Chains A and B, each alone.
Chain A
């Protein structure tokens, strides 16, 4: 089929900035705008500081946190590094055992791997076939010297939503720091940190229609919930994250959070209906399987494997439908997704996986094009594939 305009179904990789957010950011940057340094004690500095603190309130309102419990960062990767490394080091005099899962984002798994090289011991809990963490497995893994557990809220490849409340309660019972990578959850699923037993939570603006390069780390205000800073150089952000605040970025994340809060349920319903439309349009193709929950996970992500199809060829045949093969972070390596491998898929099936991720701006026509392109691509590649026979 001939489709020339890109159809964007890769919202789990990143989202476009809301026009109102971009306009507000631009106004902050320009002469005549609030471009001052928030640390400066003059009118423009105070104006910039007002933007920084307003953004903190806007983001806090989205996730049920107190503004003072948020530290600005450059995004979820930095927040993950700060939380895990800083938390582990802060508590290392008590013990050096940490727990996570191999299906976490690389920002988490690579940070744990670095801590292993520092002498920490990490227990990697395998997920069940549907991607969920078995709470009994977690309970069995917890030891007297366990100091930090990190489990993601929504998996970026499969859309699996973990039982954050139950995991958090188990960690609280043992006075263990609980970190959550919520990059795929914030602004998309309701989160109320005033109720959830979460100590540390990472997030980033560009997953919820804000700008790239800005995020936050939530640090709960409770005894024992502290981290060591990993960056030094000033007193910014409670001495946790030095550097001049990026006022325009913070204007962006704040406004994006406010918009997300105002339409989170509307977005959720919209996305869920489009996911159902997408799956209904392709599910009758032979030998197709969903990676992750068939329902009950985050509806914005539909990860599908097709037997007998090469993932890289499928991606090119789907052009110009913008989707992901594995996750955006390892798409260029050509290797099968480590997340899908951890769910028990063999190399062939993992390698054939395509992640469709639907967002606020997706429309039914996009889904219909994706359905037609996917059906055509899978059929074409299967027709081209070798068939079993005896060689002459």
Chain B
């Protein structure tokens, strides 16, 4: 048996290589919000934006300055949320993407930035 020392699993590599949701919301959704959060120590920074139509997340976009796991997790989050009900925002937990993306435990703090960003979005959209 051969050990695998690749720090990135196939899912993370695929999402990193194809971050289709990276960018900004274009004009369209009547209701939108944009949150920006950053991690002071390592300097990771996220902008997360959602556009809602009839209570559904029509568009979800991100911008990231950070490691491959954070980029992959942001892309994963956007793919997961887009098309679903806005109420799903409140259900997201960083742990949801840690296992499928093989994110090491020491990066938990960085991935929690996504929870912080969603919390800000919920406040802006006035969703409980």
A residues apposed to B, CB below 8 Å: 308-310, 312-313, 316-317, 332, 334, 347-348, 351, 381, 383-387, 389, 391-392
A312 touching B43, Cβ below 8 Å: no
A316 touching B68, Cβ below 8 Å: yes
A392 touching B68, Cβ below 8 Å: no
- In angstroms, how far is the closest chain A Cβ from the Cβ of B30? 13
- B86 at the A/B interface (Cβ < 8 Å)? no
- In angstroms, how far is the closest chain A Cβ from the Cβ of B63? 4
Nearest to A335 among chain B residues (CB) is B42
Query: Helix, strand, loop or mixed for chain B's interface?
Result: mixed
- B112 at the A/B interface (Cβ < 8 Å)? no
List of B residues within 8 angstroms of A348 by Cβ: 43
A347 touching B43, Cβ below 8 Å: yes
List of B residues within 8 angstroms of A313 by Cβ: 16, 66-68, 71
B67 touching A310, Cβ below 8 Å: yes
Are A316 and B43 also in contact (CB < 8 A) when A384-B19, A384-B63, A392-B124 are?
no
Are A310 and B34 also in contact (CB < 8 A) when A316-B8, A316-B16 are?
no
- B122 at the A/B interface (Cβ < 8 Å)? no
- B47 at the A/B interface (Cβ < 8 Å)? yes
- B32 at the A/B interface (Cβ < 8 Å)? yes
Are A312 and B67 also in contact (CB < 8 A) when A386-B47, A391-B34 are?
yes
List of A residues within 8 angstroms of B63 by Cβ: 384-387
B residues apposed to A, CB below 8 Å: 7-8, 13, 16, 19, 22-23, 32-36, 42-47, 63-68, 71, 120, 124
- In angstroms, how far is the closest chain A Cβ from the Cβ of B14? 12
Nearest to A390 among chain B residues (CB) is B34
A312 touching B68, Cβ below 8 Å: yes
Seed contacts A316-B16, A348-B43, A391-B35; 7 additional CB < 8 Å A-B pairs: A313-B66, A313-B68, A332-B7, A384-B63, A385-B63, A387-B63, A391-B34
Which 4 residue pairs are nearest across A and B when measured between Cβ atoms? Answer: A386-B63, A386-B47, A312-B67, A385-B65
